[in-house]
Amino acid sequence: MSCYVEVTAGGATSEYGALKVHPDGSATVMAGTSAHGQGHQTAFAMIVSAQTGIPVERIRLVQSDTDLVRSGGGTGGSRSLQLGGSAVHRATEAVVTKARALAARLLEADPADIVVDVERGTIGVVGVPAGALDWASLARAAEADAEAVDHDDGTVGLAAQLDFDQGAATFPFGAHISVVEVDQDTGKVTLIRHIAVDDCGTVLNPLLVEGQQHGGLAAGASQALFEEVRYDSDGNPLTANLMDYALPSAAEFPNFEVHSTETPTPLNPLGAKGIGEATTIGATPAVQNAVIDALAHLGVRHIDMPCTSERVWRTIRDAEAGTLPDPWSDPPVVFARMRGVHVVDEEGLAAAEGI
């Protein structure tokens, strides 16, 4: 078993987002993040569609194009949805505000009486759906009259762009339970079952979150059981290609059991936290701990990762012979030197120990 808390979107906490509605009623989202399989196209389109009623299939994502995307921090630290998604969310809010003002002007109504019907994808006076305008009509009107829409943000037409700054990191958390079987004759470890409960804040798209969880579980279990960079005595890498570097396939894994709890963060409008790496953090120690637990009756308390068949077999033989090494190792000397130059906050230490 393992329990973890992860920090996501640490360091750079801002991201760029933009939205433009076209005269044909379609829309283009631009974001400073870059997807490589996470599903940004789907997630960002859902965010726009939820506020405008524009169908998801009519919303296109532009990313990584430095001619078009003004700025961006890229993808890393599980930041994309909480920062890039929130930037898109805020940009969509800005476009809706502009669209309501434009609709009020065209319909000669008070902007306070203008509402968005996300079911029909129209904007009009409350209680008068027959006179509502669709997004295509509004986009054409915005392009025909440059004075009809506010362009202080540097956009043209019916569009908006901005930077969203979250201000601080978020902290996903979770608990994993792993079940393994160890063959005492060969040392082979078989992963029988893995249950993960992760909390990444608000779940926007359950299928995308589950996909991230499955990928993280596979990577985490792989680190515990298979992956190892090895060198010869001269420092030459022995695992320099995928013929020598062990990577598992789906055949080596059971069906993962993934679940989510939702504790929204107050730092962004989506309530989202990171999920891209969270399950990796929970999976590795859960699998490693399960291997140790399976051999605990032999007195085993530690095995270096990865728990390969050879390494586990040698540990079992050492346990049977009563020659298991002491798992304790002294900390690096640098820690002793640090104690000599750092002043300890005794009051703070006492308070922390009392928690």
- Mean pLDDT of all residues in 31-54: 94
* High-pLDDT (> 70) share of the chain, %: 97
CA 279 to CA 215: how far, in whole Å? 8
Structural domain ending residue among the three candidates 165, 192, 221: 165
Residues 155 and 15 placed together within one structural domain of the fold: yes
Mean pLDDT of 71-79: 89
Contact between 123 and 106 under an 8 Å Cβ cutoff? The reply is: no
- What is the residue-averaged pLDDT of the chain? 93
Position 345 in a domain? no
Give the tokens for residue 16.
Answer: 């760029």
pLDDT attached to residue 339: 67
353 belongs to a structural domain: no
Q: Does residue 330 fall inside a structural domain?
A: no
**Mean pLDDT over residues 140-151, rounded?**
92
Nearest C-alpha neighbor of 81 from the set 145, 15, 37, 29: 15
Asked if 126 and 145 sit in the same domain, the reply is: yes
Judgement on whether residues 119 and 186 belong to the same structural domain of the protein: no
Of 20, 29, 21, 46, nearest to 122 (Cα)? 21
Which pLDDT value is given to residue 342? 67
| Residue 198: inside a domain | yes
Q: Please check whether residues 54 and 99 belong to one and the same domain.
A: yes
155 secondary structure, DSSP code: -
> Is the distance from CB of 53 to CB of 201 less than 8 angstroms?
no
pLDDT at 341: 66
Q: Residue 29: in which H helix or E strand, if any? A: strand 27-31
* Domain contains 335: no
How many Cβ atoms are within 10 Å of 73's Cβ, its own excluded?
Answer: 20
Query: Is pLDDT of 355 > 60?
Result: no
Same domain membership, residue 160 and residue 244: no
Which pLDDT tens digit goes with each residue over 279-303?
A: 999 999 999 999 999 999 999 999 9
185 shares a domain with 137 = no
Same domain flag for 300 and 186: yes
Same domain, 77 and 180: no
- Same domain as 147, residue 187: no
The residue range of the domain holding 75 is 11-165
Closest CA to 145 of 101, 110, 94, 90: 101
Domain boundary among 147, 165, 183: 165
Domain-located, residue 188: yes
Write the DSSP symbol of residue 75: S
Residue 339 lies in a domain: no
Q: Provide the domain count of the chain.
A: 2
Q: What is the pLDDT of residues 310-348, one digit of tens each?
A: 999 999 999 999 999 988 888 888 877 776 666 677 777
Do 150 and 257 have their domain in common?
Answer: no
With a pLDDT cut of 90, the percent of the chain lying above it is: 85
Residue 244 is part of a domain; what is its CATH number? 3.30.365.10
Please name every residue paired with 310 in a beta bridge, in sequence order, or none if there are none: none
Statement to judge: residues 225 and 274 lie in one domain: yes
Q: Which of 108, 140, 165 is the last residue of a domain?
A: 165
Task: Give kind and range of the element (H or E) at residue 159.
Answer: strand 158-165
Q: Are residues 157 and 186 in the same domain?
A: no
Question: Residue 338 falls within a domain, yes or no?
Answer: no
Could you give the CA distance from residue 213 to residue 206 in angstroms, rounded to a whole number?
Answer: 10
**pLDDT mean over 189-216:** 96
Query: Alpha carbon of 334 to those of 331, 341, 343, 344: distances in Å?
Result: 8, 11, 16, 16
